[in-house]
Structure formats: C-alpha cells, structure tokens
Structure 1
C-alpha cells in the first residue's frame, strides 16, 4: 500500500502540473487574442480537454487520499486546500478557453489604439504576473509570495471599473467601434475574474501553511470600506 507521504507527493506533483498547464493556456490565449491567431486559439481550445481531465484526476485522488489515510492537521489542510486550488485553476483554464473561443468564432481584429485606451495589455500582464507569483508560492510553500497577489488584484479591479466609462465615451464618438469595444469588455471581465480566482488560491495556500482563514476577514474589510 502506498504511504501517506508518497500519496501526498503524487498529489503535490499533480498540483504543479495543473499550475503549469493553466498558465500556458492563459499565455497562449493572450498571444492568440493580440495577434488574432486562430490556429493558436484552436490549440487552446483543444488543450482544454487536458485541463478538464487533470481536474477530474486531482479531485478523485484527493478523495481517495482522505479515504485511505484519514489525514489530520497539516496533511488534512493540504488536501482540502489542493481541492479548492484545483477548482480555481480549472476556472482559470475555462477563462483562457473563453478568450480563445472569441478568436475562433468572432472575426473582429482589435486596433492597437483601443487596447491602449483600456490598458488591456497592462491588465493581461498583471494577471499573468499574479499567476506567476501564486505558482511560485505553491511550489515553494511561501505565504509571503502568496500575499503579493492581493495588491496586484487591486490593479485589475481598477482597470475593470474604469473600462466601462472609457468604452461608453469611445462608442459615442464612433458607434462603428462598438463590436471591438464590447469584445474587449468581455475579455476584461474575464481577466478581472481570473484575478479573483488567483486571490482565492493565495488564501488557500495561506490556510494550508499557516492555518489562517482569510475569506471572511476579507469580506468584513470590504463592508467597512
């Protein structure tokens, strides 16, 4: 029978693979969107099957780990955190899939000026940077790196909030641009959601390493603000 430590390490390696796969999906979706590259977008759509298969495997293996080993303390926190992290990463993959699907289905190239007005590339780079930080935090079990994403998420939120006003003004100036701006707005909303998912992952890493629950504390701070 496989030992608890061997089983835990296998789960951990699967987690590393999920981080790497979802990050590559998001990077490829960015390149496909900015270059209007339908072939690369198709690759992202096809790779989504791998993301889904790995998601199911990790979820089943986590359930089996609990059933076989009845873990406690840090081992229990690890497997509970990994299940939630896996769920959030799969959702990141879903958003990369959604962005790429627009390229395949909607023939709407975006002008560089429109991207600049909405700080689109800055927002995408920030989302990728957050995913880099959280991947390192997971690999190194480093809660300081996990906490770095909270500040970056505020940048995504700010760009998202400002985008609606900018789009409204630009479409009034030139109604012909409405298709391009609506497409950009839908992708911006996905990037903002990816930021939320990454902060969720950061909270799970902190929970696993420090046994600290941040979710409800964050809600209380938001109500006060």
Structure 2
C-alpha cells in the first residue's frame, strides 16, 4: 500500500467516525423531541464540540494529502469530495443541535394532531434512513444508491412545502398554539436542511466515482 493510500484510508476512517457521531446526534434529536427530554437534547448540543473537532481534523488531514502527495485523477477527486462531505456532515450536526435547542424550549409534547398532519415523524424517519443509506453509498462507492438518495429528497421537500400552510391554518384557528407551531415548523425546516446536506454528499460520491458534477444540473436545464 502506497503512502497516499495509507493516508486516504486514515481520512476515510475518521470521516466514518464523524458520521456515526452525527448520526447519533440526529437520531437522538428525534427521541428528545418525541419525549421532550431536555437532558438528551443537552447531550446532543454538547456533542457539537466533538463534531467540530472531527471537522477540523479531517480538513487538516485532507489538506496535508493535497499538499504533500499532489494526487491526481480519482485520488484528487476523492480528496476534494472528502472536504465537501466533511462540511456537509458538520452542517447536519449543526441542524441536529438546532433541533435540540428547539426541544429545550418545549415544556410538553407537541400537539399530536398537528404533528400527524404535518407528517413530521414520516419526514424525520425518511431523513434518518437517507443518512444511513448515504453512509452505505460512501462505504461501498455505490453511485446508484447515491442517485436514489437525490430522488428521495423530493419526499422531504414535499412535506416541508405543505407544512407551513398546515401550521398557519392551525394557528389562525387557535392562537394559543403560536409558540408550539413556530417550534414545530423550525424543527421541520431543520429536517429539510438535513435532506439537502445528504443530497450534497450523494452528489460528491457520484463526482468522486464517476467524475460527474450534478450540482445545479436542473437549473442549467431550465435555462436551455
């Protein structure tokens, strides 16, 4: 195994360690939300520092490989993709922290009917499944699975697009639920952002393996 292969292996191991930590944050955010567990929410927030430490470490390791070994072709694409995947994971950690902060503002469980109508549980479960499958795509260099993830993000977008109208209607009928409605919508928005970051990671996996850039592809098609 060459020196660059050894360093790339070390970076990938660190990235997967960070991934597991972020995944735990995101899953714990849902549990804290469902049970209004302020202690668990506090733990999710506290883990943010550890995620940030991984972020800095992986960035430095990747930059060292770029500076010392001047990789080309697939190795270069892997390093460039790793830098962006690392950034996306850190943002998922931030979004998980954001969910935990909103949970801490709750004094009782969210309104069950509003929760069901906004399909929040369905949205959260799908985002968790996408994050798990995205890790598999990275681990196995599976570009087909990565492409499926990009399509699946549309489910989250559709739920998010309808949520504000559902919440607004409820608040107009019952103004006493304004605080609760705003917290719920803020959590839904965080989940939608996690879906966007997973899509970004999936695009980087495809870039690394197939040398194809998918970012902004749809926008370009609309202009033609």
TM-score (structure 1 length as normaliser): 0.95
Give me the whole-angstrom Cα distance separating, in 1, the residues matched to 2:222 and 2:29.
Answer: 32
* Structure 2 match to 1:175: 175
Structure 1 residue 115, shift from structure 2 partner: 0.8
SS of the residue aligned with 2:213?
coil
Q: How does 1:57-76 map to 2 (within 5 A)?
A: 57-76=57-76
Q: Alpha-carbon deviations, 1:32-70, whole Å to 9, x = none?
A: 011100111111111111100000000011110111111
Answer whether contact 2:102 2:187 (CA < 8 A) is retained. Answer: no
Structure 1 residue 221, shift from structure 2 partner: 4.0
Q: CA RMSD in A?
A: 1.4
* Structure 2 match to 1:193: 193
* Structure 1 match to 2:161: 161
Answer whether contact 1:133 1:148 (CA < 8 A) is retained. Answer: no
Structure 1 residue 20, shift from structure 2 partner: 1.1
Establish whether residue 216 from structure 1 lines up as the match of residue 224 from structure 2: no
Structure 1 residue 104, shift from structure 2 partner: 2.4
TM-score (structure 2 length as normaliser): 0.95
Q: How does 1:6-155 map to 2 (within 5 A)?
A: 6-107=6-107, 109-155=109-155
Instruction: Say which is worse superposed, 110-119 or 74-83, in terms of deviation.
Output: 110-119
Structure 1 residue 220, shift from structure 2 partner: 2.1
Answer whether contact 1:48 1:93 (CA < 8 A) is retained. Answer: yes
Give me the whole-angstrom Cα distance separating, in 2, the residues matched to 1:101 and 1:143.
Answer: 35
Structure 1 residue 90, shift from structure 2 partner: 0.2
Structure 1 segments unaligned to the other structure (5+ residues):
none
